[in-house]
Structure 1
Amino acid sequence: MTDEGKYQQIKEAILPFIPMIGKAADTIIDENVSNYPIFVVSQLDIDLGIPLVKRTEEGSLWSVHASTLEEMSAKRVIQEEKVTRFRDVYKDPRDYVCLFVLSDLGAIFIFLPRD
């Protein structure tokens, strides 16, 4: 399967979780936790963020964890010198969800529309 095919497969697997991720993003923003919610989506066990979905629940192959730019910077997932650049490319969280996807494609940031 091509990388594009794998990306589409990942996207389709994640789509059912977008409404829940959107609500979590709203809570993170509304509670003044962060203006930059990031959701870690992985098939591995990770120690990053707060678990929202475990990969064995609901037959999902993916885990979803709620995190923030601040946590990812503190844990050096995003290098301190790249935080400003990340903020510049970060899309409006009321319209998009920011996903940090760990898969066989590597680690990539994806912005998906909430609608």
Structure 2
Amino acid sequence: MGRDFSQTSTFKINDVVVLNNQQQIIVDQLTGGSSQLDTISIVGKPGIGKTTLVNKVYRDPEVVYYFHIRVMCNVSQVYTKRDLLLEALWHIIELIDNILTMTNEDLGLVIYRAYIRFLF
């Protein structure tokens, strides 16, 4: 299945965010939408809670359950594609290291969750 990075959704945050409401909107967009990959941009003034919002979405139980692999990259105003790819790869390698240290029960749970996702 091809992935399309051309579609974007932007949330402009001008005031202090109401985290729970914004969090659920983003979680719903990530888990309930199209099978094509979308980019969700969180933009706004410094110090208004963008990183906090992203961290809450990243760790949201629904997001954790829905995605086999989750990668979060911080993008500054000046960045290179290579740096983003290396950062994403680092998260994936870290995930592999975590899998190698899991108990048999935890490995079974990971396999079960992956199997259930393929059914739906």
Task: Name the TM-score class by shorter chain.
Answer: under 0.3
TM-score (norm 1): 0.28
TM-score (norm 2): 0.27
Q: Which has the larger radius of gyration?
A: 2
